[in-house]
C-alpha cells in the first residue's frame, strides 16, 4: 500500500494503479487493497475495472460506508442509476452523518427526474445551515424549479470562499454557479465561472501525442492494410453504435431509438474500449494497439464479437436493435467494422464551436483531459474530424451522419431517416422521446426529458469574445477586441 500512496501523492496514477493491483493480487482477502485500487481506477475513468474491485471490497468490508459510496459513484459512471441509488442508500444507512451519501442520493434522483424527492433530501439540511458543498451543489441544481435560484447562487459564492475546498468540489460549484448565471442572462459571469471550474482541476493533454496516435490509427487501417485484414463472421445486426464528440446529440439519438418498441438502449458501454486496449494481450503479441490489428484472425474477431454481443442478448432478449452510446467509440470504428460487419453506426455531428463550448461548460470525467482548456479542445476536435473523415472514406460499414441542427429543425423527417437506417419501422412514439421511461446516466439527463428545443443552436455566439483560443485552434478567425474577464 505504501508504494501506491507515494505514487498517488506525486500524481502518478498509473504507478499507483500498478502498486495497488499488486497488493490486491497478493492479498485478495484484504478489502483495503481492492478499495484503494478501485478508488484510483475510478479517478482515471476505468469504471468497469473499478467496479470489480469495489465489489470485492464491499464483500470483504460490508459495513464500510466509504466502500458503498465509491461503489455508488462507479455504478453512476457506468449508467446503472438503480444500483447507484441502492449503494448510496446503503452508505447513508451506515453513516447517517456523512452528507456525501445524502447528496449523491439526491443527485441520482435528479438524474431520474424525481425532482421533488431530491429536493426533500437536500433542502432541509441546507436551509438549516449545513455547510456541505456536496449538498449545496445539488440544492443549486434543483433551485430554479423551486424559485430558490438567487439564494442558491449566494450559497455557492459563500462555499467557494472557503480556500480549503477540494479542487473537484470547487470545479463542480463553479460549473453549477456558471449555469445559474447563464440562466440570469449574465454571460460574462457564466463564462468566468466555467473557466474557473476548469482551472480548478487542470489536466495534462498532449496534443502532439494525440495527433501522432491518430496518425497511427489511420495508418493501421489504411486501404491497403484493410484489404488484407480478415472480417469476423458475425451477421448480427443487433448493435447500433452512436458515436461522436461528447455533447453532440448522442444522448438525444439514443433516447429517440429507445422509444421504439423493438429497440433498447444500453447506455455508454466500455466494452469496445476495453477490447481495444487489451488486444495485444488477447493476441499474445508485443505490438501495441492499433498496430497489432495486423495480427488479427477471424477466430479472434468472432470471439471478440461474441464477448460483445452475449451480454447484450442476455440483457435485452426481446430487442431487435440495441444502442451503444459510448461517444468515444469513434476512436475504434476500424475494430468495430472488423468485429461486427453488420453493425450500424450513427455519427452525431453538431456545430464545432457549440460542441466544444458545451464540453467546456460541463464537468466531464478524468477521461477527457482535453476538455478543460480551449486550445486543447479545438486541437482534439480537429483530430476527431480527421479520424472520422478517414473512417467514412475507407470503412465498409453502414454509417449515418446525423446533424444535431437538422434533427432539431426537422424532427420528424430526421427521425424517420434514423429509424429507416436502423432497420426499424416507423413509430410515432419516437417523436415523444422525452416521455421514455428510462434512466439516463449522462450529462444530458435533463435535456432528453424535454421536447425538442433549439436554444442551444448557435449558443457560442453569446461567448464569442472569450473563445479566441478555441476558434484559433479550430482554424476559425478569432474575434476582435478583448477576451473579457
Angstrom distance (rounded) from CA 261 to CA 38: 37
Q: Which residues of the chain have pLDDT under 50?
A: 438, 440-441, 443-445, 448-449, 478-485
Same-domain check for residues 177 and 215: no
Of 202, 235, 268, which one is at a domain's C-terminal end? Answer: 202
Q: Kindly state the DSSP code that residue 288 receives in the 8-state scheme.
A: P
Same-domain check for residues 182 and 292: no
Same-domain check for residues 311 and 351: yes
Q: Show the DSSP H helices in 185-238 as ranges.
A: 187-200, 207-220, 223-228
The 3-state DSSP class for residue 62 equals: coil
Same-domain check for residues 192 and 77: no
**Distances in whole angstroms, Cα of residue 131 to Cα of each of 84, 162, 274:** 24, 10, 40
| 480 in any annotated domain | no
Angstrom distance (rounded) from CA 483 to CA 465: 5
Structural domain for 452, as ranges: 207-474
| 270 in any annotated domain | yes
The 3-state DSSP class for residue 121 equals: helix
Of 171, 202, 233, which one is at a domain's C-terminal end? Answer: 202
| 279 in any annotated domain | yes
For residues 382 and 480, is the Cβ–Cβ distance under 8 A?
no
What is the tens place of the pLDDT at every residue in 315-357? Answer: 999 999 999 999 999 999 999 999 999 999 999 999 999 999 9
Same-domain check for residues 364 and 461: yes
Same-domain check for residues 82 and 125: no
| 403 in any annotated domain | yes
Q: What is the structure's pLDDT at 437?
A: 56
Q: Give a three-class secondary structure readout of 353-417.
A: HHHHHHHHCCCCCCCCHHHHCHHHHHHHHHHHHHHHHHHHHHCCCEEEEEEHHHHHHCHHHHHHH
217 CB burial (10 A radius; 0-12, 13-18, 19+):
buried
Same-domain check for residues 186 and 237: no
Question: Cell 508504494, residue?
Answer: 3
Contacts of 238 (CB under 8 A, 6+ apart): 309, 312, 313, 319, 320, 321, 322, 343
Angstrom distance (rounded) from CA 368 to CA 51: 20
Of 158, 175, 202, which one is at a domain's C-terminal end? Answer: 202
Same-domain check for residues 234 and 127: no
Q: What CATH number corresponds to the domain at position 255? A: 3.40.50.300
Q: What is the structure's pLDDT at 386?
A: 97
Q: What is the structure's pLDDT at 131?
A: 77
| 479 in any annotated domain | no
Q: What pTM does this model have?
A: 0.87
Same-domain check for residues 142 and 158: yes
Number of domains in the chain: 3
What is the C-alpha radius of gyration for the chain, rounded to an integer number of angstroms?
Answer: 23
| 481 in any annotated domain | no
What is the tens place of the pLDDT at every residue in 106-135? Answer: 999 998 889 999 999 999 999 898 779 999
Report the Cα 483 to chain-centroid distance in Å: 29
| 231 in any annotated domain | yes
Q: What CATH number corresponds to the domain at position 73? A: 1.25.40.10
Percent of the chain at pLDDT > 90 equals: 78
C-alpha cell at 149: 435560484
Angstrom distance (rounded) from CA 224 to CA 361: 41
| 106 in any annotated domain | no
Same-domain check for residues 348 and 237: yes
**323: β partners:** 240, 265
Q: What CATH number corresponds to the domain at position 187? A: 1.25.40
Same-domain check for residues 461 and 373: yes
Angstrom distance (rounded) from CA 88 to CA 102: 7
Same-domain check for residues 49 and 89: yes
Amino acid at each position: 500500500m505504501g508504494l501506491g500512496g507515494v505514487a498517488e501523492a506525486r500524481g502518478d496514477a498509473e504507478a499507483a494503479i500498478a502498486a495497488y493491483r499488486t497488493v490486491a493480487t497478493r492479498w485478495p482477502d484484504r478489502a483495503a487493497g481492492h478499495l484503494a485500487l478501485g478508488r484510483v481506477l475510478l479517478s482515471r475513468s476505468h469504471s468497469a475495472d473499478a467496479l470489480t474491485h469495489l465489489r470485492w471490497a464491499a464483500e470483504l468490508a460490508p459495513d464500510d460506508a466509504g466502500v458503498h459510496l465509491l461503489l455508488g459513484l462507479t455504478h453512476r459512471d457506468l449508467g446503472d442509476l438503480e444500483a447507484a441509488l441502492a449503494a448510496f442508500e446503503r452508505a447513508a444507512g451506515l453513516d447517517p452523518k456523512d452528507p456525501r451519501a445524502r447528496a449523491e442520493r439526491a443527485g441520482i434522483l435528479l438524474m431520474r427526474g424525481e425532482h421533488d424527492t431530491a429536493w426533500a433530501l437536500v433542502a432541509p439540511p441546507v436551509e438549516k445551515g449545513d455547510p456541505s458543498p456536496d449538498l449545496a451543489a445539488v440544492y443549486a441544481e434543483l433551485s430554479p424549479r423551486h424559485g430558490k435560484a438567487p439564494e442558491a447562487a449566494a450559497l455557492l459564492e459563500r462555499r467557494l470562499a472557503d480556500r480549503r475546498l477540494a479542487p473537484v468540489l470547487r470545479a463542480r460549484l463553479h460549473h453549477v454557479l456558471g449555469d445559474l448565471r447563464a440562466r440570469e442572462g449574465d454571460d460574462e459571469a457564466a463564462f468566468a465561472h466555467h473557466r474557473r471550474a476548469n482551472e480548478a482541476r487542470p489536466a495534462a493533454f498532449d496534443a502532439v501525442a494525440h495527433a501522432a496516435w491518430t496518425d497511427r490509427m489511420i495508418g493501421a487501417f489504411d486501404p491497403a492494410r484493410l484489404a488484407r485484414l480478415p472480417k469476423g463472421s458475425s451477421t448480427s445486426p443487433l448493435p447500433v453504435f452512436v458515436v461522436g464528440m461528447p455533447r453532440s446529440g448522442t444522448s438525444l439519438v439514443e433516447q429517440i431509438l429507445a422509444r421504439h418498441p423493438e429497440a433498447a438502449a444500453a447506455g455508454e458501454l466500455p466494452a469496445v474500449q476495453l477490447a481495444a486496449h487489451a488486444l495485444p494481450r488477447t493476441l499474445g503479441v508485443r505490438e501495441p494497439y492499433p498496430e497489432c490489428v495486423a495480427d488479427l484472425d477471424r477466430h479472434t474477431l468472432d470471439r471478440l464479437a461474441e464477448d460483445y454481443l452475449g451480454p447484450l442478448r442476455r440483457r435485452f432478449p426481446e430487442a431487435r436493435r440495441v444502442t451503444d452510446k459510448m461517444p468515444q467509440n469513434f476512436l475504434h470504428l476500424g475494430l468495430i467494422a472488423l468485429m461486427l460487419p453488420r453493425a450500424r453506426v450513427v455519427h452525431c455531428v453538431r456545430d464545432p464551436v457549440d460542441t466544444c463550448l458545451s464540453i467546456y461548460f460541463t464537468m466531464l470525467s478524468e477521461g477527457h483531459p482535453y476538455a478543460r482548456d480551449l486550445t486543447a479542445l479545438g486541437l482534439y476536435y480537429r483530430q476527431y474530424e480527421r479520424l472520422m473523415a478517414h473512417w467514412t472514406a475507407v470503412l465498409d460499414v453502414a454509417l449515418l451522419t446525423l446533424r444535431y441542427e437538422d434533427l432539431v429543425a426537422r424532427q420528424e423527417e430526421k427521425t424517420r431517416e434514423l429509424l429507416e437506417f436502423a432497420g426499424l419501422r416507423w413509430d410515432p412514439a419516437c417523436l415523444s422521446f422525452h416521455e421514455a421511461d428510462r434512466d439516463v446516466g449522462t450529462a444530458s439527463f435533463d435535456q432528453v426529458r424535454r421536447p425538442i428545443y433549439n436554444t442551444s443552436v448557435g449558443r457560442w455566439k453569446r461567448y464569442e469574445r472569450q473563445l479566441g483560443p478555441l476558434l484559433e485552434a479550430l482554424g476559425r478567425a478569432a474575434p476582435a477586441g478583448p477576451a473579457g474577464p
